Amino acid sequence: MNLQTISQVSRVHGVSLRMLRYYEKEGLLESKRKADYAYRVYDEMAINRLRQIIILRKLRVPVKQIKAILENQDASAVIELFQQNINELDDELTALSTIKKILQQFVDELRERASIVIHLDALGDSMLSSLDTLSFTKHQIKESLTMDALDKASDVLNKLTDVRIVYLPPMTFASIFCNKENPEEKAWQAMQNFLQQSNMPKIKPDLRCFMLGHSNATGQSFGHEILLSIPEDFVVPAPFVKKTFRGGMYVAHFIVQDGIEPFLGMQDWVNESENYQYDCDLTRFHPPIKEIDSFGGIQPGLEEVLNIYNFQNPRFKRQMDALFPIKEYTPAKETAPVEIPDSQEKCGYKASLITRNKFKIMGFTKIISGGVTPQQFEEELTNDGRLAILNKFRKNGAPLLCFGSYDMDSSIRGGWRVTYCLAQPDITDSQVFLQHAPYVRTIDASKWLIFEYPRGHEWDGHDTCPKLGFTWNGLISGSFHQVFPDGKIGRTGSDTVFCWYPVK
């Protein structure tokens, strides 16, 4: 029997560890315990059940209904549940259709009056008054019978919009960290006991509680930490540790218990922001958070428990904010590549270090999942002429980039993204190039290691950066794992290609 660990399932299917545990708690999914093994594992039956859950969630079916659907053998009962969702979607579609028609009327009238100054009252009271009857909604839906179309519709629905910027003040924390089996449950139970024994809710009525999953860029868990704000002079009992927090700015988004995971969406939002970038400084806490010697290092995202006083009470809905540390984005002085002394001897490759500010990439993309390979994508680009388009708009001497990354869309589909692209400054005419409908993405500011290696040579750079004393900047959520100076992809072309890895 092929068993997968909870981290493997999370990575392959794009479902967070928290969400998998939630599905188990709600009775939707079952894990097993392997002899002499500390972590949850899932068998083939559980994986198939998870695939069913993912599809139903993409169809906007609530978790409580999913449980009833999967457990009910009565077709008429299942039909009734689906019909309830269809009726709700019909209401949303009607409202959206009305909004669309009114917006089209605005557009039509504005086009007729394009040569004169427009006043809103000239558009007619009838159109404005009709807005009062609408039930506004953020949801949209697309009709299709294909899984690909369902994925695309889900992508549209899952884009984050309600992102907030918050400032957390300096605080003193009582911290508990647990790892191995069920670390979140163990840490939370220890914190519950501490709350009761210390009488902290009365000592500090304004207490705040945060959770920090010690995981890397691929979602692999290394433990779970819970932090509770306490008076500065309070003595914490073992195994709790007192930590100080110097505060700082965070980007925040509400976590819906059975909704999408916002973290990658928040990451995309920060990347696109002209005012903010991520702050990789782990010394906001003292003692500082320990870096993980793993792909991307630790991801310093917090979850704040917003209803700490009744968080464990089943009568109340859990409410949490997702928080990621940010700082004001001030463009730095970009540097030319500086070769690292003895890099060949230390890691086997010639390496240089540069600093880059935020920049946009434009090109053609594909999510690699469901048996699709990067080589197949290369063949598509070559055969359908998109590679020729990239080289047509590539400035002389500029490299063609291959960006491998994770984002909200690829995570939902249980895969990763490959993008063959150009940096925007290296495009001869960006406006004309945009007419070819390229994928556009902003890459956050970072330091980058540039490695030179022979074309066709396959190697894994995940372990290479630490050999030079650097940690991967996993908050970039990707790397230019192939950079072609001559614009020729595959195994033909100049002898040397490059890799750009973001580091911190």
Domain definitions of the chain by residue range: 4-60, 164-328, 338-503
Confidence at residue 144, expressed as pLDDT on a 0 to 100 scale: 34
pLDDT at 307: 81
**Residue whose C-alpha is closest to residue 94's, from 49, 133, 122, 54:** 133
Mean pLDDT of 269-292: 88
d(CA 320, CA 258): 12
Answer whether residue 389 shows pLDDT above 60. yes
- Please check the confidence at residue 140 and state whether its pLDDT lies above 80: no
Q: What is the pTM of this model?
A: 0.68
Q: What is the rounded distance in angstroms from the CA atom of residue 407 to the CA atom of residue 385?
A: 26
Please name the helix (run of DSSP H) or strand (run of DSSP E) that holds residue 402, with its range, or none. strand 400-405
- pLDDT grade for 204, boundaries at 50, 70 and 90: very high
28-37, 194-203, 368-377, 478-487: least confidently modelled range: 28-37
Residue 131 DSSP class: G
All residues at 6 or more sequence positions from 404 whose CB lies less than 8 Å from its CB, including other chains = 416, 417, 418, 419, 478, 479, 480, 481
Residue 282 — pLDDT band, cuts 50, 70, 90?
confident
- Please calculate the CA angle 197-240-38 and round it to the nearest 5 degrees: 105
pLDDT band at 127 (very low <50, low <70, confident <90, very high): very low
Say if residue 246's pLDDT is above 60: yes
**Strand-strand pairing, 359-368 and 221-230:** unpaired
Q: Where does 338-503 sit in CATH, by number? A: 3.20.80.10
Could you tell me the CATH superfamily of domain 164-328? Regulatory factor, effector binding domain (3.20.80.10)
Q: 66 versus 130: which is more confidently predicted?
A: 66
Calculate the alpha carbon distances from 413 to 58, 319, 418 in Å.
10, 26, 14
pLDDT band at 133 (very low <50, low <70, confident <90, very high): very low
Return the amino acid letter for 494: S
Crossing angle (nearest 10°) for helices 63-71 and 75-112: 140
- Rounded to a whole number of angstroms, the CA Rg of the chain reads 26
Identify the residue with better confidence: 221 or 37: 221
pLDDT greater at residue 165 or residue 415 = 165
> Which amino acid makes up residue 233?
D
The enclosing H or E element of 446 equals strand 446-454
What pLDDT score does 209 carry?
Answer: 94
What is the pLDDT of the chain when averaged over all its residues?
A: 80
Q: What is the average per-residue pLDDT within 389-397?
A: 94
Q: Tell which phi-psi region holds residue 297, choosing left (phi > 0), alpha (psi between -120 and 50) or beta.
A: left
What span, in angstroms and rounded, lies between the C-alpha atoms of 448 and 470? 10
Q: Give the best-scoring range by mean pLDDT among 181-185, 326-330, 477-481.
A: 326-330
SS3 79: helix
**Calpha distance 499→175 (Å, rounded):** 39
pLDDT for the residue 249: 96
Q: Do domains 4-60 and 164-328 have the same CATH topology?
A: no
Average pLDDT estimate for 340-350: 90
Query: How far is the C-alpha of 256 from the C-alpha of 119, rounded, in Å?
Result: 41
Q: Calculate the CA 217 to chain-centre distance.
A: 10
Strand ranges across the sheet with 446-454? 338-339, 350-356, 446-454, 496-503, 478-484, 400-405, 416-423, 359-368, 439-443
What would the pLDDT profile of 396-445 be if each residue is shown by its tens digit? 999 999 999 877 667 656 678 899 999 999 999 999 999 998 989 999 88
35-49, 95-109, 114-128, 213-227: least confidently modelled range: 114-128
Mean pLDDT, rounded, for 60-70: 80
Token code pair at residue 310: 């009744």
SS3 224: strand
Predicted local confidence at residue 137, as pLDDT: 32
Residue in the block written with tokens 């902290």: 200
Cα–Cα distances in angstroms (integers) from residue 64 to residues 22, 60, 257, in the given order = 12, 12, 12
Q: Is the pLDDT of residue 502 over 70?
A: yes
Q: Six-digit token pair at 220?
A: 């692999």
Cα–Cα dist 197/195, whole Å:
6
User: Is the CATH number 1.10.1660.10 carried by domain 4-60?
Assistant: yes
**For residue 445, what are the contacts with CB-CB under 8 A and spacing of at least 6?**
277, 329, 331, 332, 355, 356, 357, 358
**Rounded mean pLDDT, 382-400:** 94
Average pLDDT over residues 456-469: 76
Q: Which residues of 31-54 are buried (b: 16+ CB within 10 A; e: fewer)?
A: beeeeeeebbbbeeebbebbeebb
Place of tokens 């630490």: 466
E-strand ranges in 192-334 read: 209-215, 221-230, 241-245, 248-255, 276-278, 285-286, 302-305, 320-328
Residue 488 is given by DSSP the state -
Confidence band of 243 (pLDDT split at 50, 70, 90): very high
The number of angstroms, rounded, from the C-alpha of 491 to the middle of its chain's C-alpha atoms is 32
Query: Is residue 338 classed as helix, strand or coil in its secondary structure?
Result: strand
| 183-212 mean pLDDT | 90
| Confidence (pLDDT) at 134 | 32
Q: Please report where in the chains the tokens 């988004």 appear, as a residue.
A: 253
